[in-house]
Amino acid sequence: MHSLIWIAATLAVPALLQEKGMSATAEVTNSAVAADSLTVKSKDGAEISYDKTGTGPVLIVIAGASNFRTTSPTFAELARTLSDQFTVINYDRRGRGKSGDVQPYAVQKEIDDIAALIEANGGRASLLGFSSGAILAIEAAVAGLPVDKVIAYEPPFVVEGSGRDPNRGHLVPRLEAALAKGDRREVMRIFFIESVGLPQEQFEGMMNSSAGKGIEAIAHTLIYDSKIADAAYPNQKWPERFRSNKVPILLLDGDKTIPMIPVGVNALSEVLANSSRKTLPGQDHAPKTEAIAPAIREFLRR
């Protein structure tokens, strides 16, 4: 399998399941765990839907682009695995799944969503973010939310020396223009091919799969993730807020991931204050629960 498909795996888990010969619906059903289905209102009035599993300190899981609770069995599996020590919150980011949305979009609104989840669940939490969700987790911490610790798995920063054009992620105006025309497929093409780097044949395969329509329905949220990445690395410069961070942050990646990822994570680790760095053997952009869960436990128990 081409290495770039793994970034799409995190972005589009149902497509990966189909590639393995599994039904996305069946896989999610089999991975379900007992959880409370709840909602909380964010600052702008958007209702954010979430599940709550387990007991102990609160850990909020933040998904990457195009993922939400019922698209990825990893979230339910992680909740089940960690529920003996933690209260795990899996939520649908705004505009996805069962969560609402209020326009216009702003990254601060997603930070407000996390703040509302924390307030509704005891007033303090740690955060676990994947891909663009990892960037959002870091932003929530440096914004001063009552966050104890952050685990950020493979925040997808494209920096000099990564072998990719660091300007390739700045596609928001084109994404917004395509969406304004109602061309959601073009939004997806720009995001997956030009931004992520997915080969054309892999993109066509994804679009022709049963996953394609589901992702197309939330194509507008791909713009949200693009804005999150751009705001955290504007004009290829790290923001000063990262240098003054006071929250302990563990930056994780896998040694089988896309080559650009560790270069970006290394660069981030040099400027993000109070951060530590760890690589998981044998893992790519979609880490297995049995590989990441021990790292989560170890870091949160320090």
Tell me the CATH number at 148.
Answer: 3.40.50.1820
Q: Which domain holds residue 34?
A: 5-300
Higher-confidence residue: 3 or 181? 181
Q: Domains in the chain: how many in total?
A: 1
Identify whether the C-beta of residue 136 lies closer than 8 Å to the C-beta of residue 111. yes
What's residue 160's pLDDT? 84
Residue 79 carries which side chain, given as an amino acid letter? A
* 251: nearest Cα among 282, 229, 273, 234: 273
How do residues 3-15 score in pLDDT, each as one tens digit? 333 344 344 443 3
0.95 surpassed by pTM:
no
Residue 19 has pLDDT above 50, yes or no: no
Q: Residue 206, CB half-sphere, CA atoms under 13 Å: how many?
A: 28
What's residue 247's pLDDT? 98
How do residues 39-49 score in pLDDT, each as one tens digit? 999 999 999 99
> What is the DSSP track for 156-205?
----TTSSS-TTTT--HHHHHHHHHTT-HHHHHHIIIIIII---HHHHHH
